[in-house]
Amino acid sequence: MISVSALSLGEATRTFFERLYFGDKPEPLGTATQLIYSAVIVLVMAVPFVGTLAALAIWAERKVAGHIQSRIGPNRVGPFGIFQSVADGIKLIGKEDLIPAGADRTLFRLAPYLCFAPVFAAFVALPFGPDLIFEPRLNVGVFYVLAMLSVDVLGVILAGWASDNKWSIYGAMREACQTVSYEIPLGLSVIVAVMAAGTLNMADMSRMQSGGLHTWLIFSNPFTFAAFIIFFIASLASNKRAPFDLPESESELVAGFHTEYSGMRWAFFFFAEYAAMFVVGAMQAALFLGGFHDPFGLVGHFHAKYSAAGNNAGIILVNVAAAVIFIVKACVIIFIQMWLRWTLPRPRIDQVLHGCVKVLLPAACATLLGAALWQLLAGPAVARVVSMLLTAGGVAIVMIVATWIAYAIVTARRVRPRLSEPAPLQ
Amino acid sequence: MAGLFYIFALTAAAGAVGVVLSRNIVRTAVCLLAALLGLAGLYFSLAAEFIAVVQLVVYAGGTLVLIVFGVMLTARVPTAHLDIKMRELVIALCTGAVFLAVLWGGILTADWPVAKASTGAADAQPYRIAKLGEALLGDYLVPFELASVVLLVVMIGAAYLAKARRK
């Protein structure tokens, strides 16, 4: 009776890498084989990937912060200070692991893992390439990633509660009300993309956007364009990224929910945060920005060609290229998140909630209604013209912003105040 | 996949026992999380992925967060403990016994279609989320809309009560 399971049901559509690993045998896999396969994937691919990613993201954040504030940022450990996170990690391992006397010891220990594990689990559904998705048969992939991001909140709240510290509790309370409210616009904006794609499966969703720039869902209709912006703002809040970093606002709450944490437990929260940033960026890439497809549809074209020819080397090459494209897209989103963090000031908690309930939520509802009406009423010809216009507009916006930034970089002077040569008083 | 079934079932059962035995509300919530995760795992292993994910979003990500939030708002931190009176214990035991009896009776008398369904590769994916959506917005539209109206009533009522309290 129990043998009717998701994994044995999916035999008909065994993934490319499962076929490479197990061969093309039709008989179902045993529990042990399946578990070993999963463990190998997790240990060889997922753990090093997430670890490297988080370490590089932390280094990049400090570098971005430095340049935005006319500093240089970390530059001592390795070229451009790229190994700074490794050095920090070694330092953190050596730190004393403190637990406050009044803390709930079990929950205090549990909280960092509860924060980290769901983000890690979300990677299962992310489509890195045509065949580079761990579970392409997960029909509710989009919803699953959202679920993992919402479970992640509980770790932060428990950390704040278990610390027995008033600053931690304030941080945890802010996290609770902020994420619970911003989850609604986040979910609604995802639904707009899902309606345009007609599927919740991340692999199918990526396949839909394979035909080049104008087939990307962000350019599908005006409402998906709006939904992308709403998703970006809501994802900042649900990830507690600045300007929504109230749970750890260091100017008022010491360090918020992780005030009492030190050493590796503290580091786990940051691994979770930077991994979640990637997950959110990857969601935006997969849902709106064409997933792992390049703007010209080459990945889709070559994958179809090599699949038809049965060329395994070619398929692997296409997958690697697709993964690079996907990661670059997610990293661009991560960069914009960092850019905003070091540019915008932090609002108060009432302003944050006001912004959600009275601005973002109505906007998300209107977008959802508009998208539904669009799907019903817009004819194929109109849809095509509008999608082309949106694509042209989107490309124009990106070009203008890129030119502006390039101009600013070329013409900027780095101001270096010198104590020995004070400016003359007027 | 019998091995996975036992892992998930044990997690769910241990979490449920923890919910009943723990006196600290926040720890109860964490035990409930274990129970919910175990159940979600069971749903996943039965290929009912949508219900598994809904379980995680609604209960683990929503209800549990609100429970802990409520505790933090109302209780003084070191004393978030439950005091159970004898009367409550008796009522809870009676409710539990009746529920168990109903459930047990249902399990014993039900006509289980599972053994018949798992025959061949034709029904490789019996559980399609698209079918669920069509059912909710097609055949079962009226109950679905009624449920959402009930939820709306609850929300408006809660907002009204909260506003009345403030004046």
In the prediction, which pLDDT does A315 show?
81
What mean pLDDT comes out for the span A178-201? 87
Nearest CA in chain A to B57: A147
Half-sphere exposure of A125 (CA within 13 A, CB side): 29
Taking a contact as any Cβ pair under 8 Å apart, which residues of chain B between 70 and 89 contact chain A? 71-73, 77-78
**Contact yes or no for A54/A275 (Cβ under 8 A):** yes
Given an 8 Å threshold on Cβ–Cβ distance, is A35 in contact with B3? yes
Taking a contact as any Cβ pair under 8 Å apart, which residues of chain B between 137 and 166 contact chain A? none
- Among A9, A110, A179, beta carbon nearest to B30: A110
Between A14 and A204, where is the model more confident? A204
- Among B1, B56, B77, beta carbon nearest to A31: B1
In residues, how long is chain A? 426
Given an 8 Å threshold on Cβ–Cβ distance, is B125 in contact with A180? no
Rounded Cα distance, B84 and B118, in Å: 47
Q: Does A177 touch chain B (CB under 8 A)?
A: yes
Q: Which residues contact A324 (CB under 8 A, 6 or more apart)?
A: none
Given an 8 Å threshold on Cβ–Cβ distance, is B64 in contact with A154? yes
Nearest CA in chain B to A26: B121
pLDDT in tens, A342-390: 888 888 888 888 888 889 999 999 999 998 898 888 778 888 888 888 8
Q: Does A311 touch chain B (CB under 8 A)?
A: no
Smallest CA–CA separation between B94 and chain A, in Å?
32
Given an 8 Å threshold on Cβ–Cβ distance, is B124 in contact with A11? yes
Residues in chain A within 8 Å Cβ distance of B2: 2-3, 31
- Among A3, A10, A176, beta carbon nearest to B69: A176
Residues in chain A within 8 Å Cβ distance of B47: 4-6, 9
Between A and B, how many residue pairs show a Cβ–Cβ distance under 8 A? Answer: 134
Q: Which residues contact A322 (CB under 8 A, 6 or more apart)?
A: A128, A129, A130, A132, A292, A293, A299, A303
Residues in chain B within 8 Å Cβ distance of A6: 44-47, 49
Rounded mean pLDDT of chain A? 81
Residues in chain A within 8 Å Cβ distance of B58: none
- Among B1, B26, B126, beta carbon nearest to A5: B1
Given an 8 Å threshold on Cβ–Cβ distance, is A7 in contact with B1? yes
Predicted confidence (pLDDT) at residue A208 exceeds the cutoff of 90: no
What mean pLDDT comes out for the span A274-289? 89
Q: Does A117 touch chain B (CB under 8 A)?
A: no
Reported confidence tier of residue A28, pLDDT bands at 50, 70, 90: low
pLDDT in tens, A118-173: 888 888 888 888 777 777 777 788 888 888 888 888 888 888 888 878 888 888 88
pLDDT in tens, A358-368: 899 999 999 99
Rounded Cα distance, A205 and A326, in Å: 14
Given an 8 Å threshold on Cβ–Cβ distance, is B50 in contact with A161? no
Residues in chain A within 8 Å Cβ distance of B159: none
Is residue B81 helix, strand or coil? strand
Smallest CA–CA separation between A133 and chain B, in Å?
17
Smallest CA–CA separation between A398 and chain B, in Å?
35
| DSSP structure string for A82-104 | TTHHHHHHHHHHHS-----TTS-
Given an 8 Å threshold on Cβ–Cβ distance, is B53 in contact with A158? no
What mean pLDDT comes out for the span A66-71? 82
Rounded Cα distance, A55 and A331, in Å: 13
Mutate to test the interface with A, among B28, B45, B65, B134 (most CBs of A within 10 A): B65
Is this prediction's ipTM beyond 0.85? no
In the prediction, which pLDDT does A124 show?
82
Nearest CA in chain B to A169: B72
Is residue B24 helix, strand or coil? strand
Rounded Cα distance, A93 and A85, in Å: 12
pLDDT in tens, A398-408: 899 889 988 88
Smallest CA–CA separation between A110 and chain B, in Å?
10
Rounded Cα distance, B3 and A422, in Å: 74
Reported confidence tier of residue A1, pLDDT bands at 50, 70, 90: very low
Q: Across A308-411, where does the E strand assignment appear?
A: none
Between A312 and A356, where is the model more confident? A356
Residues in chain A within 8 Å Cβ distance of B49: 6, 138-140, 144
Reported confidence tier of residue A256, pLDDT bands at 50, 70, 90: confident
Give residue A366's identity as a one-letter amino acid code: A
Give A373: exposed, middle or buried? Use CB within 10 Å, 0-12, 13-18, 19+. exposed
Given an 8 Å threshold on Cβ–Cβ distance, is B61 in contact with A140? no
Give residue A216's identity as a one-letter amino acid code: W
In the prediction, which pLDDT does B165 show?
65
In the prediction, which pLDDT does A27 show?
56
Smallest CA–CA separation between A411 and chain B, in Å?
48
Q: Which residues of chain B have pLDDT under 50?
A: 115-124
Given an 8 Å threshold on Cβ–Cβ distance, is B69 in contact with A180? yes
Residues in chain A within 8 Å Cβ distance of B7: none
Given an 8 Å threshold on Cβ–Cβ distance, is A158 in contact with B77? no
Reported confidence tier of residue A20, pLDDT bands at 50, 70, 90: low
Nearest CA in chain B to A30: B1
Q: Which neighbouring-strand residues pair with B24?
A: B81
